[in-house]
Amino acid sequence: MAEIALPAFHVTTPVKVPLEISQDLARDVERYKAFYKQAYGVDVSEADLIREMARRFMESDREFQAVKNGLKSRSRGSPRSGHPQRSEGGTG
């Protein structure tokens, strides 16, 4: 059996957030839902999958966790952002 990256999870109390996704992503979520059911024998909703994936993604982002916990981000002006920080009033 294929190994699934998303571990089994329990459903929590949801909060509604309006969200639109592309048709391609919607199809992939449907496929992942079937993959999850094959792996765990449990049927979950698309909303539960997206919610859990987003939660796990944010938990794994160390920079975000540092900001969330009130620490300064080390990546200020990092190449990943695509926009280096510039001082105001400069000519550069």
pTM of the model: 0.62
Is 1 in contact with 39 (CB distance < 8 Å)?
Answer: yes
Mean pLDDT for 37-64 is 93
| 64 vs 41: CA distance, rounded Å | 33
Range 35-61 average pLDDT: 93
- Choice between 10 and 31, residue whose per-residue pLDDT is larger: 31
Predicted local confidence at residue 46, as pLDDT: 93
Q: If residue 26 lies in a helix (H) or strand (E), which one and from where to where? A: helix 23-40
22 against 4, higher pLDDT: 22
Cα 65 to the chain's mean position, in Å? 13
CB distance 21 to 29 below 8 Å = yes
